[in-house]
Amino acid sequence: MSPDPAPPGIRVPQCAEDARVVRVVLPREGESILGRLAGLHRDERERMGDVLTLPIWRDG
């Protein structure tokens, strides 16, 4: 089964050594959008505080 084609303007070169490796090459506009999205995501995580804190598992 071949992978889904990338959207226009985005390149996804395949890794010859390891098929699990994915490298996405974005155009400049895509990098800008991703940067803004990452900032919004970071801010939202900070606002949520400890709501997403993982539980501490104890053995035994």
pLDDT, tens digit, 9 for 90 and up, residues 3-45: 667 777 778 778 888 888 888 888 899 899 999 999 999 999 8
Q: Is residue 31 part of a domain?
A: yes
Task: Provide the domain count of the chain.
Answer: 1
Q: Looking at the domain assignment, is residue 53 inside a domain? A: no
Structural domain of 28 = 7-48
Residue 54 lies in a domain: no
Tell me whether residue 13 is in a domain. Answer: yes
27 within domain boundaries: yes
Q: Does 55 fall in a domain?
A: no
**13 CB-near residues (< 8 Å, 6+ apart):** 23, 25
Position 60, amino acid:
G
Which residue reads 């959207």 in tokens? Answer: 7
pLDDT at residue number 51: 82
Residue 3: its pLDDT value, please?
61
Q: Where is pLDDT greater, at 2 or 43? A: 43
The DSSP output letter for 58 is: -
30, with CB counted inside 10 A (0-12, 13-18, 19+), is middle
